[in-house]
Structure formats: C-alpha cells, structure tokens
C-alpha cells in the first residue's frame, strides 16, 4: 500500500512539473514512480512526452514502447510512437504506427495533430495524393497551424498545383515570419506560377533568415536565371557551391545557367565537374554533350552521349544527341541508326522524325525521307512542312502533299 502511495506521489509531482514545462525534472519523477509501479500506462506515456518535449526522440520511443508492452492495443502509445518515428525520419514506420492507432480507435483519425504527422510522413515518402487528403483534413480541423499549412503547400507543389499551394504557404509564412522554409516553399510555388519577381523576393527573404542554407542559394539562382539575370544567378549558385563544394545539383544548375547565357566554355567546365561528382547518372552527361555540341566539338558530344548510353542503353535524349552529332560529322548512316533506335523507344517525338527525315535525305534515300515526313505530318503538320523544305534542298522529288496523296 505504501509502495503504491509513493508511486502515485511521484506521478502527481511529475504531472505538475510537466504542466509547468519542467520536462527534465518531470521525467525524473516519473522514472522514480515507475520503479515502484512499472506498468502504469499514464506515467509511461507522460515519460515519453517529457522526452519528446526535450527532443530526446529515441528515449521517447523507448517509453512509449514500454507502454505497449503493458497494453499492446493502447492507441495513444501507437500514435506517439508514430510521431516520434517521423521526427527521427523513419517515415514508413511512423505512418504505419499512426494508422494502427487510427484502426484501434478511429477518433485518432479526427485529431489534427496525428493527421499532420501522418500527412508529413506520406509526403516525405512520395505519396502525395494521400498526403494531400490527410493534410487537407488536418488543416480543416485546425486552420491556423503554420506547420500543417507548410506541409499542405509543399504537397500541393509536388502535385504541381502551384496556385492552390500559394494560399497556405502565404499564411504559414505570415504566422511564422522567421521560418525560412516557409518562405522558400512560397518562393517555389511562385516560381511554378512563373511569377519570377515575387519568387526572387521570397527566396531572398529565406536566404536572409538562413544565409548558410545551400538550397536557398540554388533556388534564388534559378529564379534569377528565369529573369535572365545571369550574373546574379551565377553569384548565388557559386555561394551554394562554396557552402558545399561537392554538391552535384549545384554544378548542374551552374552548367545550365552558363548554357542559357551562351557561355559555353564555362558551361563545359561546370559540366565536367558535374560528371566527376556524379559519373553514374546519365543526366549528368546531358549538359556536357550540349556544351561540346555548341562549341562544335561534335565527336566529344557524341562520346558524352555514348557514356550516358553505357548507363542506360534506352536513354532517348542520348540517342537523339548522338544522332545530331553524327549528322554534323557527316556520319549519316550512324545518324539514321541511332535516331531509329530513339523512335523505337519513343515514337511520338516530332523533332526526332524531322532529324531522321533529313538524315535519309543526306543519304539520298528519297523514299525513306518522305516516309518519315509522312509520320511527322501525323504528329506535327507544321513541323512537317518546315522539314520538307530542308529535305527538298538535299534531294529532288515530289512534295509531301503529293506523297501523302499517293499513299
């Protein structure tokens, strides 16, 4: 009896200290009481909450797990295990735990806190549709929670619903004006809406709040690039590179920006750095091939495409780029071969048929050239007419209309 009374006294002190936000001291009192009554569910969950408030998520998980050992179908413990798992980036397990709590007690599916973390887990796992439905419901239940609105906006961006994303993200950044993530996501929504000036303003604010954040400088650099302000774009991207010198995505954006500015030598150097950092990604070779091509170094352009094809033999852009390079090297048979492979993989790309028609014309294969023009006319009649002019410059024969009439 005395043992039980002492335990209850510790639990009472723990709850008082918890309400006063003295979480460390409260945790100590709950531990003392649990030595006397180790299976008290309320105390175990309060202990877990103390550790959660102290950001000691692994200790929180241990406490909630002790509660489940005492009562395996205790929904509250499952729910807080799920929330704690989300915080330690174990998103699949976190979502599963929260869903278990909802199955045990459906009222947890009507609580905005649990829904917020379930939606966060879904979004991080790439389940954007499930995330949207869950976060929308959480936002309806608790409309002024900045974190919920942030994740809802982020989810809508992933669904490319930029106009809808703007509203919750504006509210989130207004409620928490020092939250650089909220400003950055609002900038992304505005970027998706092609409102470049407003996008630059939000990215700039995010960078002011957190100047050491690499993504902030990359975002701002990309927005400046859309404004054709290439000098500022490169400055921001170089700031990102200085913060994290081995980040491949930064070099990719630098290469693209130099290419948009027609500074091909600089784009080439950035592309070489990108390939060194990310040699097993076929996309890394795209800017390298483009830079070589713009510098009229066609064999090296074709070689870059060949490297991409070693990684992915069905890489359509590499087949197309190689064909274009071969055309400039007067290797028309090779051009035909790779362009035909590209069309086999992706038959509905108009410009590939246009290039192939011209390659056949370079080989003086009139029949094959007009067959490609006929295929192109079904996809893009205007491009077919333009390509016919180029084909007729290389060979003489009946017009496209005449060929179509005969067929």
Q: Write out the two tokens for 289.
A: 């091939």
Asked whether the beta carbons of 384 and 376 are under 8 A apart, the reply is yes
At residue 72, what are phi and psi to the nearest 5 degrees?
-60, -20
Which pTM value belongs to this model? 0.83
Residue 404 has pLDDT above 60, yes or no: no
Half-sphere exposure of 208 (CA within 13 A, CB side): 9
Q: Looking at residue 3, what is its pLDDT? A: 75
Instruction: Return the CA Rg of the chain.
Output: 30
Average pLDDT (364-387) is: 94
Asked whether the beta carbons of 248 and 284 are under 8 A apart, the reply is yes
Helices (H), 196-349: 196-209, 214-226, 230-243, 248-260, 264-277, 284-294, 298-311, 316-328, 332-345
Q: Write out the two tokens for 147.
A: 């974190």
Q: Looking at residue 4, what is its pLDDT? A: 81
Residue 25 has pLDDT above 60, yes or no: yes
Q: How far apart are alpha carbons 116 and 53 in whole angstroms?
A: 17
Q: Write out the two tokens for 218.
A: 């990359």
Which residues, 6+ apart, have CB-to-CB distance to 161 below 8 Å? none
Q: Looking at residue 399, what is its pLDDT? A: 54
Q: Looking at residue 5, what is its pLDDT? A: 86
Q: How is the chain split into domains, by residue range?
A: 349-407
Residue 266 has pLDDT above 80, yes or no: yes
| pLDDT tens-digit map of 88-143 | 999 999 999 999 999 999 999 999 999 999 999 999 999 999 999 999 999 999 99
Listed residue (258, 346, 330) closest to 294, CA to CA: 258
Q: How far is CA 82 from CA 14, 56, 90, 227, in A?
A: 24, 15, 9, 43
Percentage, residues of the chain above pLDDT 90:
94
Q: Looking at residue 1, what is its pLDDT? A: 64
């Amino acid at each position: 009896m005395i043992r039980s009374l002492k335990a209850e006294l510790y639990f009472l002190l723990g709850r008082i200290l918890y309400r006063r936000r003295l979480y460390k001291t409260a945790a100590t009192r709950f531990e003392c009481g649990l030595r006397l009554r180790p299976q008290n569910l309320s105390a175990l969950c309060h202990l877990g909450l103390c550790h959660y408030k102290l950001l000691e998520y692994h200790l929180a998980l241990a406490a909630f797990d002790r509660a489940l050992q005492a009562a395996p179908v205790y929904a509250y413990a499952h729910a807080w295990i799920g929330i704690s798992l989300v915080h330690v980036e174990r998103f699949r397990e976190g979502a599963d735990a929260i869903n278990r709590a909802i199955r045990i007690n459906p009222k947890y599916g009507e609580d905005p806190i649990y829904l917020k973390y379930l939606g966060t887990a879904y979004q991080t796992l790439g389940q954007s549709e499930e995330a949207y439905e869950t976060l929308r419901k959480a936002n309806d239940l608790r409309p002024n929670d900045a974190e919920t609105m942030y994740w809802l906006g982020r989810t809508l961006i992933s669904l490319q619903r930029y106009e809808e994303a703007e509203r919750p993200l504006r509210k989130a950044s207004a409620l928490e004006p020092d939250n650089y993530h909220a400003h950055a996501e609002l900038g992304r929504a505005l970027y998706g809406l092609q409102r470049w000036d407003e996008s630059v303003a939000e990215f700039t604010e995010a960078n002011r709040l957190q100047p050491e954040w690499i993504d902030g400088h990359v975002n701002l650099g990309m927005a400046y690039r859309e404004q054709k302000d290439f000098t500022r774009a490169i400055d921001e991207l170089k700031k990102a590179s200085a913060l994290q010198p081995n980040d491949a995505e930064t070099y990719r954006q630098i290469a693209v920006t130099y290419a948009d500015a027609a500074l091909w030598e600089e784009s080439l150097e950035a592309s070489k750095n990108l390939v060194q950092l990310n040699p097993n990604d076929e996309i890394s070779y795209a800017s390298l091939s483009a830079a070589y091509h713009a510098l009229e170094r066609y064999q090296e352009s074709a070689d870059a495409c060949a490297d991409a094809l070693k990684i992915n033999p069905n890489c359509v852009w590499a087949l197309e780029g190689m064909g274009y390079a071969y055309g400039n090297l007067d290797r028309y048979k090779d051009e035909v071969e790779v362009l035909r492979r590209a069309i086999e993989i992706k038959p509905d790309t108009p410009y590939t048929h246009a290039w192939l028609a011209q390659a056949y014309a370079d080989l003086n294969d009139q029949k094959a050239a007009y067959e490609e023009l006929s295929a192109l006319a079904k996809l893009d009649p205007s491009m077919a007419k333009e390509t016919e002019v180029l084909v007729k410059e290389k060979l003489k024969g009946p017009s496209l209309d005449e060929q179509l009439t005969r067929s």
